[in-house]
Amino acid sequence: MKVPLLEIFSSVQGEGPLVGYRQLFLRLAGCNLNCRYCDTKHAVSCGKCKIEKKAGSSNFEYISTPLEIDKLLQIIQENYDLNKHHSVSITGGEPLIHYEILKILLPKIKKLTKSIFLETNGTLPGELQEVLKFIDFISMDIKLPSAAKISPCWESHRKFLRAALSREIYLYIKIVVSSNTVEEELKTACKLIKDEAPGIPLIIQPVTPHNSVKAPTTRQLLKWQEMLLDYLNDVRIIPQTHRALGLL
């Protein structure tokens, strides 16, 4: 089975409560959603993947993708010291659309690293269940239709949350907000979290502005945090820090 790899690089986790940890990022192609603010639109297969062997160098080697699992493992072992990485981050796109490949790949990666971190849009609960036993950390999005400009995903988010909580795992939820975020949607998301997992951290992540997508104001952010704290105990505002640092 071949892996639809798009990028592999060593960098720093730039979002959420694990910000600052060193991770090896494996970015897979493709997604089941099409969010307006997506910053990984390039996450579609183009026949080549980028490998940054020296962290921070921006010197990339390009090889054909998809590539064999053994080839990917060889690249990891030859180029990165996983003892110095908190975890291997499986990201995308939406990595869970490739759950059949992940079922074979993740146990092999698990032998090389301390932990596996999954970054997901939180809409594919059945696929999560297939690979949950290999995962140690989950960063789950809840998508607000107004900000993402997609159809509501409330029920798939609810099912995903239930699936994720069926195993003891470090899980946090991230909601990207923009200047146009609808408060009612934020409340709906919060009630959903309160119903299923009131103790888990909720990260409000202001969108990094681009094209016509504007970041919320400071006043909006603080107002929304206060509003959400009526429902949950752990609500934090954390922007994308890797962008500020010019990291991948």
Residue ranges in contact with ligand SF4 by CB under 6 A: 31, 33-35, 38, 40, 43, 92-94, 121
5 or 231: CB nearest ligand SF4: 5
**Shortest Å distance, C-beta 217 to ligand SF4:** 22
**Shortest Å distance, C-beta 30 to ligand SF4:** 9
**Shortest Å distance, C-beta 119 to ligand SF4:** 9
66 or 122: CB nearest ligand SF4: 122
Work out the angle between the directed axes of helices 99-110 and 69-79 (0-180°, nearest 10).
Answer: 40
14 or 92: CB nearest ligand SF4: 92
- 43-51 contact pairs (CB < 8 A, 24+): 43/6, 43/92, 43/93, 44/93, 45/4, 45/6, 46/6, 49/5, 49/6, 49/7, 49/8, 50/6, 50/7, 50/8, 50/9, 51/7, 51/8, 51/9, 51/75, 51/79
Residue among 136, 138, 116, 115 at smallest CA distance from 125: 138
6 or 171: CB nearest ligand SF4: 6
Alpha carbon 150 to its chain's center: 18
71 or 149: CB nearest ligand SF4: 149
8 or 231: CB nearest ligand SF4: 8
Residues 6+ apart with CB under 8 A from 226: none
**Shortest Å distance, C-beta 219 to ligand SF4:** 25
Alpha carbon dihedral 161, 162, 168, 170, in 10-degree steps, equals: 10
**Shortest Å distance, C-beta 13 to ligand SF4:** 16
6 or 76: CB nearest ligand SF4: 6
**Shortest Å distance, C-beta 149 to ligand SF4:** 10
